[in-house]
Chains A and B, each alone.
Chain A
Amino acid sequence: MLKQRTEFISTRGRARAMAGGGSWNRNQNLTVYASSIKLGPISHAVLIILLIAFLGLLYLTQLTKTSTFGYEMNSINQVRAQLAAEQDDLKIENARLESLSRVQSSSVAAAMTAPVDVVHAD
């Protein structure tokens, strides 16, 4: 499993190499602390398996989500079709109420009087 080690690494050689090109002073000691956690081959394998499993889960959740969208779309389409059918029925009802035969038999038409002065071409 994980091994924890603390090391001191002298970077003098590197500092020396850089001495002429930057703000480093000659003979200055520099230290850098690297991570002491090291992963072995088994850890790598486990991590990769976990990563693959995670990606698999992610894929599955996305797939399920898309399927859910499919159901939602289907349900919305059904509602839309129902509303369209309802709208069609209302349009038909409206047109029937405004139809000539309906207008002619309406109370408004019944209350109308014949024109007094009509000149016909006999």
Chain B
Amino acid sequence: MATQKISRTGVVTVGLFLVLAVFAVKLFSIQIIDHDKYVSVAEQMQTSKFTINPERGQIYTRDQNGELTPLVLNQTVYTIFADPSQVKNPGKIRDVIKKNVPDKMIESNLTDKKLNNKENQYLVLARQVTRDQVKKIQEEDLAGLGFQPTTQRAYPEGNLAAQILGFVNTDGEGQYGVEGFFDDELTGKPGLLQSVTDVRRIPLMIGTDDVSIPAQNGADYILTIDRSIQSQAEVILKNGLERAGTKSGSIIVMNPQNGKILSMANYPTYNPAEFSEVVDITNFQNRTTSYAFEPGSVMKTLTTGMALDAGVITPNTIYHNTGCVQIDDAQICNASRQVDGRDMTATQILQWSLNTGVVWELQQIGNGDITKQARQTMFEYFANRYRFSQKTGIEQAGEARSSLFSPDDVQGGRVRYANMTFGQGMAVTMVQFTAAFSAAINGGTYYQPTLIDGVVDHKGKEKTLEPNILAQNIISEKSSRELKEMIYQARQDNQPGKDKGYYIGSKTGTAQIYDDATGKYALNRTTGTAIGFTADKDKVPQYVIMVRVDDYPEEGAYAGSRAAQPIFDELNNYIIQYRGFSK
């Protein structure tokens, strides 16, 4: 049998085929069997996802010509960091940083030890550095330095309207004010970029699965506030409080014909650009919306409005002033005792601010007594018509609830309701009271108080918001007209000739402050309030001002007239001149 000899070429050929076969099998395994796995691994290595941050919406107001004036803008600032593994000259870096951004550097990170730590790749050296400062540092061409852009809020008007605006914290979240209320809308929606990148993570746009969803910038808001009135209100409030010897207070100015807020001033205030330096967080709060308090005798205007609307009094109905009145176990007396024993008109009840007078008005609703029916009627007016039982919905974070007891509540007895007629035993916010007062003197239309005049959406389209009427005829038009005239007349009779022909009505109030420690009203701590309106020559109220002065230190019942009224008058005079009202 002849042996078949295999040539060397044949052996090599077979060997090659075997090797190729192994390759083919392996390639088949990689490319066909494990195809999805390797595609996924490759995508993970080559593809990156980037979040596109939206630009936070900006906040504007309008000037007198209707032009937009910025209150809050965005500014690009930089975080300067070092990559110690790349740093060549730590001493030079330290010198340059210290020279250019001494107030923004993190000195503890500028040591030789940290800058020479080659295992670290990210060391923050300074924060919130401006573009100009970055340019100067970049000119030094230092190896191992990086600049990371970020945005921060800029406030061209400084402290103006700080509590209305709020601020954005270091996590980018809106806090307090409009920033807190509209945080989601101002923030916008982030976009997404998914793409193949190079080793430096630069998107190359060569993949078939690229995703590019643009960010949706936050909406811009246009506020109703008038920056001139706001600025003057803040100055006048500060000076007025200093004169009165008190530490805090607030002002609100509102257009009663549409509910638009022209000013909300608070003192003490703060600089929103330096919010982290504020020690007392109550300074952040807009206390015209976030603080419910006993308003005192300014409430007599609304009690009188109720009595007029209920048909139990007219402006000239006579009340015999007894000086004091006994309600169950409580004796209620007037602060002004010089008119005891006299017959007074309902208008004079306002003029002399008679507690017993407004208690009498409530008694008239109950046919001479504070009956359950009288209390239910009063609750209906206060809770539902003046809307004290609900928040106003003003565009401010942290609006406070009022405190109002129904007659069915164990706390809603005769004494409490007697006290409520002159603004004690219940708590409301300034914005609630101003909105109710505005409705009571504008013909009976309750406008939702608002700080927002318009919105510019992410497409740049401007939309002006229409006034929102929440209720009509909260009191009749006739009652409203009579009440307005009574408030005007009471002021004129109190200070004849003072207003030189302008149609101004106002009422002051002084409320004792309840002391939680003793469970009684403190004798030497009162809240002073003043509320009023100024009308044009056709007697149409153009704006309402309310002033609150906290913790007036003098004993007696004069915080309203001594501390709050002068602030009211000064601001009122300014607005009359500023707006150019005719008599």
Contact = CB atoms under 8 A, between A and B. Distances in A.
A26 interface: no
A49 interface: no
A99 interface: yes
A69 B195 CA distance: 13
A86 B500 contact: no
A67 interface: yes
A95 B205 contact: no
Interface in B111-160: 130-131, 149, 154, 156-158, 160
Interface string A59-86: 0000100110111011000000100111
Interface string B182-201: 00000000000001001000
Contacts of B227: 100
Contacts of A95: 69-70, 73, 156-157
Interface stretch (A4-12, A29-37, A114-122): A114-122
A92 B500 contact: no
Given A86-B131, A88-B75, A99-B157, A67 B204 contact: yes
Given A121-B499, A122-B498, A89 B569 contact: no
Interface in B73-101: 73-76
Given A89-B131, A99-B156, A100-B228, A66 B75 contact: no
A96 B75 contact: no
A121 B491 CA distance: 12
A69 B196 CA distance: 13
Q: Would you call the interface of chain B mostly helix, strand, loop, or mixed?
A: mixed
B4 to A, nearest CB: 32
Contact of B205 (A73, A86, A119, A121): A73
Given A63-B206, A67-B204, A81-B149, A101 B500 contact: no
A101 B228 CA distance: 10
A114 B185 CA distance: 45
A119 B198 CA distance: 74
Nearest to B570: A120
A121 B228 contact: no
B528 to A, nearest CB: 19
Interface string B30-72: 0000000000000000000000000000000000000001100
B131 A85 contact: yes
Nearest to A73: B205
> Which residue, of A81, A118, A121, has the highest number of chain B Cβ atoms within 10 A?
A121
B227 to A, nearest CB: 6
A122 to B, nearest CB: 5
Contacts, number: 81
Given A81-B149, A91-B70, A70 B203 contact: yes
Contact of B569 (A86, A99, A118, A121): A121
Contacts of A73: 203, 205
B50 to A, nearest CB: 11
B291 interface: no
B502 interface: yes
Contacts of A74: 202-203
A79 to B, nearest CB: 13
Contacts of B573: 120-121
Interface string B151-171: 000101110100000000000
30 contacts: A67-B204, A67-B206, A70-B205, A73-B205, A74-B202, A74-B203, A85-B76, A85-B131, A88-B75, A89-B76, A89-B130, A89-B131, A91-B70, A92-B73, A95-B73, A95-B156, A98-B69, A98-B156, A99-B156, A100-B157, A100-B227, A100-B231, A101-B157, A101-B158, A119-B500, A120-B500, A121-B499, A121-B572, A122-B499, A122-B500
Complex A-B, nearest 7 residue pairs according to Cβ-Cβ distance, in ascending order: A95-B156, A85-B76, A70-B204, A121-B499, A70-B205, A120-B573, A95-B70
Given A67-B205, A99-B157, A122-B495, 19 more contacts: A67-B206, A70-B204, A70-B205, A73-B205, A81-B76, A81-B149, A85-B76, A88-B74, A88-B75, A89-B76, A89-B130, A91-B70, A92-B75, A92-B156, A95-B69, A99-B156, A118-B577, A120-B576, A121-B504
Interface of B: 69-70, 73-76, 130-131, 149, 154, 156-158, 160, 195, 198, 202-206, 227-228, 231, 495, 498-500, 502, 504, 534, 569, 572-573, 576-577
